Structure 1
Amino acid sequence: MIGISACLIGEAVRYDGGHKRQDALKQLIDCGEAVAICPEVLGGLSVPREPSELINGNGVSVWEGHCEVRTQSGRDVTQTFKLGAQEALHILQQYHIDTVILKDGSPSCGSTEIYDGQFNGTKTQGVGVTTALLQQHGIRVYNEHNWHTMF
């Protein structure tokens, strides 16, 4: 069993109310081989919601207390992102899941890149808040581009 970002299996949970469905990943859910999670929704954020980005750091630095997650209008949503990450971890641990496929670029789920905090569409290397927590707990994180390397 693995975990998969809910947006990657077609659930409309993204900030814009959309999804990034990949049929092969949806099949894993349909066959009972995966569990869907959306840390941002688990943390209490609405759909749709204002875009959020990590400001002056990445997910690791959020857990170290050196970085914040803010909405485009400047509202601090760091604690909401941390709560969602903790809820996602709890669900994965309940199912004894040690591998996930998460949506890259996301302030929660990014595993190779995240947006740079300027809200101008520029990405930088880094991990999101949930990815950082999961990796700290030994969970292997893949994304929609590299998950084929799991096999």
Structure 2
Amino acid sequence: MERILVSACLMGQRVRYDGGAKTSSDELLAAWKAEGRLVPFCAEVEGGGLPVPRPAAEIESGAGGAAVIAGAARVLTTGGDDVTAAFLSGAQAALAVATSFGVRVAIPKEGSPSCGALNIYDGTFRGRRTPGQGVTTALLELHGIKVFTEEHIADAAAYLRDLDR
């Protein structure tokens, strides 16, 4: 049975920066949870050791997770604190968990500086998004884990069916 790494906030865990969750009501996620396929994980909290709640953070200049991994960009809070090390540690922890479960598919929370798959916030803290990936998503994909957003769970299901063949 293929396991799926999923953002803990999508599973109702209150781990987001604002102390909330972004619980998904997707039926496929619910079915996968019932089957024991899901591996919920929050890179920022479980891996990076960041508190809940915590200041919002964005990747400077909307540079993206690959730039952070390469050391060419930082993750900063609204107050200007550099939390890059926590985001890198969280990404490494997510990869370690995924590897330990043999995960080949991940469903992260879109927009996050850790988990954004298609877009992230642009680093200005003005609510503007830009195309790009978060740090954890970039690292997972660098290691061959296919990432789908919560809006593309049906695509993840099709991918899983292909893997099962």
Normalising by structure 1, we get a TM-score of: 0.97
Structure in which a larger fraction of residues adopt strand: 1
Verify: 1:35 aligned to 2:39, yes or no.
yes
Unaligned runs of 5+ in 1: none
Q: How many residues were matched structurally? A: 151
**1:48 positional shift:** 0.6
| Displacement after TM superposition at 1:83 (Å) | 0.1
Task: Find out whether 1:133 has 2:135 as its counterpart.
Answer: no
Task: After superposition, give the CA deviation of every residue in 1:96-116 in whole Å (9 maximum; x if it has no partner).
Answer: 001000001000000000000
SS of residue paired to 1:36: strand
Given the alignment of the two structures, is residue 54 of structure 1 paired with residue 56 of structure 2, yes or no? Answer: no
The counterpart of 2:74, out of the listed 44, 65, 68, is: 68
Structure 2 unaligned spans of 5+: 159-165
Residue 86 of structure 1: CA displacement?
Answer: 0.2
Q: Structure 1 runs of 4+ off > 4 angstroms? A: none
Greater C-alpha radius of gyration: 2
Q: Does 1:121 align with 2:123?
A: no
For residues 52-71 of structure 1, the C-alpha deviation after alignment (integer angstroms, 9 at most, x for no partner) is 00002110100111100000
- RMSD over aligned Cα, in angstroms? 0.9
TM-score by length of 2: 0.89
Residue range with higher mean Cα deviation, 77-86 or 21-30:
21-30
The residue type paired with residue 151 of structure 2 is H
How far residue 40 of structure 1 moved from its aligned partner, in angstroms, is 0.3
